[in-house]
Structure 1
Amino acid sequence: MHQTTVICPKTPEKPQLSFLCLQLQRLPLPRCLSDTSQLFQNTEKFGLSFYKDFGLDLLYQHIKVERFLKLGYSHSDILRVLDNLHHDAQTNDILEELIKTCHTRTHKDKSVPNSPKLVPRGCSPNPSQPRPGPDRDSAPDFRPVVIDGSNVAMSHGNKKVFSCQGLQLAVNWFWDKGLRDITVFVPLWRKEQPRPDAPITDQHILHGLERRKILVYTPSRCVNGKRVVCYDDRYIVKLAFDSDGIIVSNDNYRDLQTENPQWKKFIEERLLMYSFASDK
């Protein structure tokens, strides 16, 4: 725990305050006191009222913090609860708020999927392996992941519907294993209002992945009422090749393999195929 030495003025006519200063020299300062030079400023002016109104409160706060630290609560949680409650809050009130704080955090953690959602062919997940939390960095030996969004979404929609849920399942599968460098390519026109000839489900998932900077739209535009789209396969293969990553798709990209010998070798070695079974 960080300790701050407090410089107290000499107060020979107020021995109680001098004794308090000695006691406070080794106490950690509350977060609200950012300027230590003001801690005992104007001590002569406040006199014993300063000792009663501020000094004892600080001592009591220190005692409370130490007590709940021994119970296993974090220093930041304890200070947050003490800031929210009145300075003379009882132990039971503080404990109740700490329990609520930890319960809320546990509930949020449980909202993260507990099981792999996408199983690549030829691989079997190990359920006993600990899942990295969302706040951990990717392991340095993980390659970037580039997902063919159209291929994955249409596969999850049984080749009839562009199912955005399939994209979420794919992202979750890699995210739960600690990978953070994930890119999903989707044509820009999928952001538009769904049409009968191009149905799409759970379109809000696209907006969520875009906000997380995981989803990237490939360009498209309308010319004389006709939609002109870019070849998104080229974006997918090029990014994966340039970043030395892997491609998640069931497409073999044969046209791109014949176009570039380097891409041919790369696709053969780095193409990760997949299958869905009951949303897993």
Structure 2
Amino acid sequence: MLLFWFYTVWIPLLTVFDRALSSYSEDQCSWKGSGLSQQPGSVEQISLHCAEGSLDWLYPKGALRLTLSPRLPSTVVGPGGNRHSGSGHITACVKPAESFHGAQLYLERDGILELLVGDRPESQRPPRVRCFSRHPGERVALFLQATPHQDISRRIAAFRYELRGVWNARLSLDSDPVNSEGACRPCNDTEILMAVCTSDFVVRGNIRSVVENQDLQVSMIKVSATRVFRQKYALFSGAGRLTKAGEIRTLLECGVRNGAGSFLFTGRVHFGEAWLGCAPRYKDFQRAYSLAKEARQIPCELASD
């Protein structure tokens, strides 16, 4: 009798709730829904149109196919800020939630599936950020396949995503080859000047300490910022009038060490975290900037000391 009540009363109520819950965000950056109303073997088609957002799939059942069609600004789509002059490459990264369970996430590239995130046992470490590139003319989508479980009530497959244009490897973060290649190589003068113009943060400061995280395979650089030229979000803050504090991440394999002196830190914000790009000593930046200014070859102005 109890089982009959569950299927005739509770399941229909859950299905109605599920249909009401399944929705896009107003700006079409994110989607939230559940698999309770999906038919076995069905694939729900989803399309999102932002450079960053999220997906939350409750009670995974069946499959989802997610197409990312971002309305990226022209400045991040191709070199030189020209939407049509660039190579058309887009770098995308997904960051699974620590509680990601109940589904497997695949990259679908020209009809071929590549596993990005598996359905892991709860005892395993949280899944890592995964990145990939889309080349011109390629058809790319994300495919989520629910895995069978007797109890789906505690299963949620959720992740955040970010997309950018041609994304320099040194400004990314995963162990995936698309990100780590060349990430530890020092910047030349041209790269330093371009980083000043295009980075999410440009900060002059000193290294207070470097903390290594073996689990994440990253180094956390604790920075005292004496001047914040630009920052996306409140990365460097504090009550002090002259200095602000912040943290910048880089790959552990780069072997960053504590060093005396003033540096110019540049880089990208990735899922709310600051990741190191070019970081010359401030005097080296001043030299490169002065030479380029004299030759009238500076890509942008910076109010340096």
- TM-score normalized by the length of structure 1: 0.24
Greater relative contact order, per chain length (Cα 8 Å cut-off, separation 6+): 1
- TM-score normalized by the length of structure 2: 0.23
Higher share of residues assigned helix: 1
Q: Which of 1 and 2 has greater Rg?
A: 1
Higher share of residues assigned strand: 2
